[in-house]
Structure 1
Amino acid sequence: MNHRILVVEDHAPLRAQIVTLLQGAGWRVEEASDGRLALQLALEQPPDVLLLDLGLPGLDGVELCRRLREQADRHIPVLMLTARDALDDKRQGFGAGADDYLLKPFAGEELLWRCQALSRRGELGRSPVLERGPLRIDRRSGELRLEGQVLPALPRQAYRLLLALAEAWPRTVSRSELQQTLWADEPPESDALRTHLYNLRQSLGPGQSLIKTVHGVGLRLELPQ
């Protein structure tokens, strides 16, 4: 699956249960217990699904969702998770931009079904073609163009590395995040990331200057001015 989900819940035991459930189903999970931090994380690195509790410190879930809809440059599917079952509470949640609503207590299977449905809905609304300056990536076919010229097919992990950098642009992506993207929770013992980075740069030829190493931080896609 390799989909990313941001779990925003201030009740630590429940958050831990949800994280364990999602990780067991193959999701890459990030966590936040504070509304302001969660909004920052969602805007900096949009998840495939945002699982959002309503009663949060710093910024409540309804206001967080409203600001997310105002500030995000793409639609992030939001599943609100709450014990508030009044019709007016649901009206406020959907009015703020929520895509779905699940009441506590809930069955783990239902939570997974709803998250999977939202991730598919998000994919349907996303163009298969990603363009970053001279770089054009067709997510559906895997075709890669540089300055309009079709490049030979990249090795699988080199392609996934390039796609991760292109989707994160203009953000710098840490080595640990890239390792998580390529190998989930089972990274190889050797420094395989360095090998795949070398293969990627070699495959890009003159375009290898697009891949910039930010020492002590990670990698980023750097586009010409």
Structure 2
Amino acid sequence: MLNVLLIEDDLDLAATMIDYLELEGIRCDHASNGVAGLNLIERAHYDVILLDLNLPRLDGIGVCQRLREVGNDRPILMITARDGLEAMLDGFRAGTDDYLVKPFDLQELVVRMKALARRRSGQVLLLRCADLEMNLSERSVRRAGRSLRLSPIGWRLLEALMRASPGIISRPALESALWGDNIPDSNSLKVHLHHVRQAVDAPFEVALIHTLPGHGIALRDPE
């Protein structure tokens, strides 16, 4: 069962949406302002966040920005009565994954929610695994507070691993993420992975990058 949070100050609309989602077998919590929404997100796991743009106390842009700044990668679907291009761009710049203009068809809402629920957000600005932290806005990587240096390809490799963490990425998928269709010789990934391991794992007691023979590479905390 999907578990979603609706942050919407229009109580009539919120009630209609909650009733429809429950008929679809989707559990929906509700907050009527941005601050209350953030408080619920701190206490519970949600597969998707439905976020109104115009909210009291803290608007949808502010909520979205705060979630992405602290590394929350839950998919966000922004809902708003503002249909202008600039409003839409503001939402995407803040970190939303999708955008739906009121009035909308509830069936379309469900379809979009289910599509978002199958993946993490690509809009998150702070990625973490154990004591490893990658700040995408600052273009910095730190482990245990120590700054790490990576090549441009090493950065992309580590970002791909962190976005998938703790899941496994196959070698072909990693090569595609790094080089697209122009994949170099077969040793290139091995060489770059070695350099990333030297930066991320070698100076520390616990290794985070793991090779799973026959499956691929995973970044995960063994504990």
Class of the TM-score when normalised by the shorter of the 2 chains: 0.5 to 0.7
For residues 135-192 of structure 1, give each alpha carbon's deviation from its aligned partner in whole angstroms, at most 9, with x where no partner exists.
xxxxxxxxxxxxx9xxxxxxxxxxxxxxxxxxxxxxxxxxxxxxxxxxxxxxxxxxxx
TM score, norm. by length of structure 1:
0.53
Give the conservation status (yes or no) of the 8 Å contact 1:43–1:71: no
**How is 1:67-106 mapped onto 2 (pairs within 5 angstroms)?**
67-72=66-71, 74-106=72-104
For residues 108-150 of structure 1, give each alpha carbon's deviation from its aligned partner in whole angstroms, at most 9, with x where no partner exists.
1100000000001239956459xxxxxxxxxxxxxxxxxx9xx
- How big is the shift at 1:23? 0.9
The whole-number CA distance in structure 2 between the counterparts of 1:44 and 1:6 is 12
2:40 is matched with which residue? 41
Structure label with greater radius of gyration: 2
1:18 is matched with which residue? 17
Question: Which aligned segments of 4 or more residues in structure 1 are displaced greater than 6 angstroms?
Answer: none
- How big is the shift at 1:66? 0.3
RMSD between aligned residues: 2.2
TM score, norm. by length of structure 2:
0.54
The whole-number CA distance in structure 2 between the counterparts of 1:112 and 1:93 is 20
Question: Residues 99 and 126 (structure 1 numbering): CA distance in 2 closer, same or farther, change over 3 Å?
Answer: farther
SS at match of 1:21: helix
Q: How many residues align?
A: 129
SS at match of 1:122: coil
Which consecutive residues of structure 1, in runs of 5 or more, have no partner in the other structure? 130-147, 149-222
Question: Does residue 1:114 correspond to 2:112, yes or no?
Answer: yes
Give the conservation status (yes or no) of the 8 Å contact 1:83–1:104: yes
1:198 is matched with which residue? none
Which consecutive residues of structure 2, in runs of 5 or more, have no partner in the other structure? 122-162, 169-221
SS at match of 2:39: helix
The whole-number CA distance in structure 2 between the counterparts of 1:128 and 1:20 is 34
Give the conservation status (yes or no) of the 8 Å contact 1:65–1:97: yes
When you count helix as a share of all residues, which structure comes out higher? 1
1:65 is matched with which residue? 64
